[in-house]
Amino acid sequence: MLPYKRSDRVGHLLRQEVSDIIMNRVKDPRLGFLTVTEVEVTPDLKLARVFISVLKEEEEGLTMKILDSARGFVRAELGKRLRMRVTPDVEFKADTSAQYGDKIERLLKGLREGPS
């Protein structure tokens, strides 16, 4: 069994902190309902990819623009909250796993129903 990597532990911590920062500190009324689904941190701990799932797909583009413009603020807040030598750069990505799962589910349902 492989040991639990530090980047994984930092990713879990960043997920909690970034969620809290977005929900409580980013003050943009255009920001809709979103969820921080995952945070991937590079092994050198210099970059954190934050995956965001948005409730309404049509708001995804606007939400990503808002979060990209708030990157510096989010990083500064993380720097205040974390006791790390270097605060990782934050990169926001849209999480498409829900749409992908829905597509797979529809394909499997079509196979179960058989040819028309």
Among 18, 60, 56, which residue's Cα sits nearest to residue 40?
18
Which pTM does this prediction carry? 0.81
Percent share of the chain, pLDDT over 70: 94
Q: What is the pLDDT of residues 75-112, one digit of tens each?
A: 999 999 998 899 999 999 998 877 777 788 888 888 88
Sheet of 89-94, strands arranged across:
34-41, 47-54, 89-94
Q: Between helices 71-81 and 6-24, what is the axis angle to 10°? A: 120
pLDDT of 2 > 80? The answer is: no
Please tell me the predicted confidence (pLDDT) of residue 41: 93
